[in-house]
Structure formats: C-alpha cells, structure tokens
Structure 1
Amino acid sequence: MPGFPHAMPLEGFIGGLMIGVAAAIMLLGNGRIAGVSGMFARVLGLTDGGPPWALALLFTAGLPLGAGIAAASLGVKASFPASLSLIAVAGLVVGIGTRLGSGCTSGHGVCGLSRLSPRSIAATVTFMATGVVTVTIMRLSGVIL
C-alpha cells in the first residue's frame, strides 16, 4: 500500500463509511449536523451559535490529525500539484463559498443529502458542478495536470 498514487476503491469505501458514521454519531449523539465550515467558524469566533467551542475545536483539529495519523501509518506522503499560494487562494474562495451557501460538503453533501434536504441538494449540485468546471479549466490551462 505505501506509495500508491491513488486511493483504491476499498479505501474510498472505508473512508466514506467512516465519514458517514462520524456524521451519524454527531447527529444522534449531539443533535448537531457535522458541518466542518460551521465548526471552523465557531473555532475562529465568527459565529456565536452552534456547538460548544471546545467540541468545535476538537472536531476541527481531528480532521488534519486523523489524516496525518492515517497517512503516517500507511506510509503515504502528501504532495500538492499546485503552489501553496494557489492552494491558499483556493481555500479562501472555498471559505467564502461556504459562508454564502450556508454550509459545506460535509453539512450539505453528507448530512443534508442523507436527509433529502432540497436546499442541500441544490447546494451540492452547485458546488460539484463548479468543482468540475474549475478543474477542467485548470487542467486545460496547464495549471494542474
């Protein structure tokens, strides 16, 4: 498994299952949607509502820590096909989009779709289509391969 360039179907299935279980635990155990953008906004103090600050911090910190632990245990090294400045700008644009769309892929795409929320269906179709168009343009322009 070390050094594999792309995730295999089994790893994708297991990862998706883990995300679904985590979302279900958050909803059933705490009565809250596992929306990463909302959690991160709470950590940064951009919103007063939502989960307790400590819960938001632990949830948000667990994402990169969990990925780091998994990568280290599998011997996978991260690589980025774009410059760090491009990644930072992209992150800023995604952050603005999540504020405008009142949620992100975890809130709308995982939790909202599973509840058949019309607003989440519209949001998910919009950000998936935007992602496909953006990657297509970037690949055609040679920014990413």
Structure 2
Amino acid sequence: MEADWIWGLGGGLLIGLGGAVFLLGNGRIMGASGILGGLLDGSGRSNAAERIAFIGGVVLVPLLIALVTGHAPVTHVTSNAAVLIGAGLLVGIGTRIANGCTSGHGVCGISRLSLRGIAATAVFMLAGILTVAVLRQLLGVI
C-alpha cells in the first residue's frame, strides 16, 4: 500500500504546529511568502535573522529527511526541469498577487476563520486543480 499520505499528514501537522508556534511566539501570521518577500525587498531587516532561520528550515528539513530516509519526496512529480522552474516562478508571482501563500492564507487564515484566507485558498486550490488537469490530461506535460 502506498504510504505517501503519511508524509502529507506529517508535513501538514508540522506546518500547522509551526504556524501556531509562530503566532504564539511572535504575534504574527506565519506566511512563508511574506517572510521571504521581506528578506528580498528589505522590509524585513529588523528581524532578518529570524526570517533567514525560517527559510533555512523550510529548505534544509526536507533535504535532511531525504538524506535520512533515502527517499526524495518529489521525484514523482516530473523530471522536466523547465516545468519545475516555471511552476516555481508562477507560484511566486501568484503569492505576490494574492498577498500571501498557502501557509498564510490556507493554514493560518482558515484556522482563524478569515474570509480573505478562505477565499484566497479556494481560488488557488481551484487554479491548481485546473492547471494540473490541463497540463497532465490535455497537454501531457506532467
């Protein structure tokens, strides 16, 4: 039996726990795009060390898990580097347009019953579903 759902469940629990700790510890919403955006545009200079530690954890923990388990968690998505790079750029653009990402709107926004977070999550989930359907089923890209 496939056990990929366990990785998703564990990751979801860790993101939720991280959001709760971030909110309780800092009094701010944990939104990964806002944390990274503040580093890139300079608006987060006052707490740059905290932002760097957060982004470092987001990048290093999956690498550590892959090293420990010998399992790269995203190898089954696609081997096409151009698709992965394009997807990353589109996600980055989308998070700036939406003023937030899945961690800010989806995890923290919905848990606070934010209408803006619920609406943003519904829109990006629908866009993701449609994108995968078109790229996989119609175009055969992924």
**TM-score, normalized by the shorter chain, greater than 0.5:** yes
User: 1:61 matched to which residue of 2?
Assistant: 56
Q: Structure 2: state its 5+ residue gaps.
A: none
Higher fraction of helix? 2
Distance 1:128 1:50, change over 3 A: farther
Match for residue 13 of structure 2 among 14, 17, 20: 17
Distance 1:76 1:123, change over 3 A: same
TM-score, length-normalised on structure 2?
0.89
Conserved 8 A contact 1:108-1:124: yes
The one-character-per-residue Cα deviations of 1:120-143 (angstroms, maximum 9, x if unpaired) are: 111000000000000000111110
Match for residue 65 of structure 2 among 53, 61, 70: 70
Cα distance in 2 for residues equivalent to 1:129 and 1:83: 23
TM-score, length-normalised on structure 1?
0.87
User: 2:114 matched to which residue of 1?
Assistant: 117
Distance 1:132 1:23, change over 3 A: same
Please, what is the CA RMSD of the aligned residues?
A: 1.9
User: 1:37 matched to which residue of 2?
Assistant: 33
Distance 1:110 1:50, change over 3 A: farther
Distance 1:23 1:91, change over 3 A: same
**1:122-133 to 2 correspondences below 5 Å:** 122-133=119-130
Conserved 8 A contact 1:82-1:143: no
The one-character-per-residue Cα deviations of 1:26-65 (angstroms, maximum 9, x if unpaired) are: 0001111110001111222x15158711111110111110
1:96: how far off? 1.1
Q: How many residues align?
A: 139
SS in 2 for 1:63: helix
Between the two proteins, what is the percent identity of the paired residues? 45
Cα distance in 1 for residues equivalent to 2:44 and 2:108: 19
SS in 2 for 1:103: coil
Q: Structure 1: state its 5+ residue gaps.
A: none
